Amino acid sequence: MPHVLIIEDSYLFGQFVCDAAILAGARTVEVAETEVEAERAATRCAPALIVADVRLRHGTGVTAVRRITGAGGHIPVLYVTGYPQGCSGCPSGSAVIEKPVSHDRLCDSIRQLIGKQAARPVTH
């Protein structure tokens, strides 16, 4: 079961995403509120999936994701944002859900991405 990194600066929404990720099959989750915290969290435990907001009080989820994934390896990304127009710089293939979002829709989206990641062949 995978580790999910959540990049979200709203405590309550971060907990909402944590709950959805666990119900979707995540073994562990960690919430980071800033770009810097997200990079540190990804270094401590490599995520199998990243769920990120686009706008943060300190930086952007897009920049954090770019820094985390830029060194290699494909990590699926789900952007959950009230500003979908801010996703113009998002990596191609990223999924985007606009806030507000229902718990069921979020859980289903995370479950699908976890399933796709689990189905990927391991390469060395």
Close Cβ partners of 112 (under 8 Å, ≥ 6 residues apart): none
Residue 1 pLDDT:
62
Residue 89 pLDDT:
77
Q: Running along the chain, 124 residues long, what does each successive block of 10 average in pLDDT? A: 94 98 97 97 96 95 92 83 85 89 98 83 54
- Whether omega before 47 lies within 30 degrees of 0, making that bond cis, reads no
Residue 124 pLDDT:
45
What angle, rounded to 10 degrees, do the helices at 61-69 and 35-44 form?
A: 30
Report angle CA 105, 14, 77 to the nearest 5 degrees: 60
The CATH homologous superfamily of the domain defined by 3-119:
Response regulator (3.40.50.2300)
Tokens 């995403």 found at: 17
Residue 73 pLDDT:
61
Tokens 């897009």 found at: 62
Residue 72 pLDDT:
59
Q: Domains of the chain: which residue ranges?
A: 3-119
